[in-house]
Amino acid sequence: MSTYVIGDIQGCYKALRKLLKKFNFSASRDQLWCVGDLVNRGPESLDTLRFLQDIDDSVRIVLGNHDLHFLAIYEGCAPARTKDTLSELLKAKDCDQLSHWLRKKPLAYFDCLDTQNGTENFLMVHAGIAPGWSVQKTLNLAAEVELSLISKNYKIFLENMYGDHPIRWHDELQGYERLRTITNYLTRVRFCDDIGSLRLDVKEGLCAAPKGFRPWYEFETVSEDTTLLFGHWAALEGRTGKPKVHALDTGYVWGRKLTMMCLEDYQRYSISD
């Protein structure tokens, strides 16, 4: 059995299937980890969700900002945006089933695997984490959002998750400000400063870092014995410069590559058409 982690699919179903077939992924034998943003921007969000639901036992998923946005639109908690490509999915007869399935997925996933380097710990999120968050704190805070998503008041969370404030985490945050801030780190962060202040308006590469801000993974995070896996930031082109921090979004939906990596040996596989 092999474990593969794949970058942002964003509704590019044909590319997903082509990549899995080209490198011999088998749902009966292997696991596929998805770093989120399964839907939107690409043309085949419906097919993507149907396929992943069909192989649900072999898939580990964390939610991305586009996945949460889809849920909010479907539930009538937010309007669609001009660049959204979710119409086919939203009109599908099984959209309710698919959204219910997706809403139960986590925002952070941790597992321990046997690799060529021995037993290794992996933490997967869509975008990143705040400076100083441990693995356990990340999982605990993600669970607060996850519980809100499966509660009877989940629509209230979806209505209140949008916004860039508060700009940084502190433990005293409460209510929907607390949940929004957790969500912004896990699904939207790129740059922050040393106390965790967010700059969510800057979406370009490293050269666009505002003064005093750095990529979130440049700060002390989690622990030395845990490998971090994330997507969201296509401008990095899959590079972080850190051996235990792996960026998987390589911008297929923007005309570049769809990438997956085998966690047992860190071998990367990509397609570009």
Q: How many domains does the chain have?
A: 1
In the chain, the N- to C-terminal Cα span, in Å, equals 27
- CA 145, CA 128: separation in Å to the nearest integer? 15
- Domain with residue 47: its CATH number is 3.60.21.10
pLDDT value for 174: 97
- CA 65, CA 186: separation in Å to the nearest integer? 9
- How many other CB atoms are there within 10 angstroms of residue 197's CB atom? 16
Residue 244's alpha-carbon distances to 93, 131, 228, 263, in angstroms, are 42, 16, 6, 11
pTM (2 d.p.): 0.97
> Are 260 and 23 within 8 A, CB to CB?
yes
Q: Which helix (H) or strand (E) holds 176?
A: helix 175-188
What is the domain range of residue 128? 3-271
Mean pLDDT of the chain: 96
Q: 210 in the Ramachandran plot: left (φ > 0), alpha (ψ -120 to 50) or beta? A: beta
pLDDT value for 272: 93
pLDDT in tens, 55-104: 999 999 999 999 999 999 999 999 999 999 999 999 999 999 999 999 99
Residue 129, pLDDT > 80, answer yes
pLDDT value for 225: 87
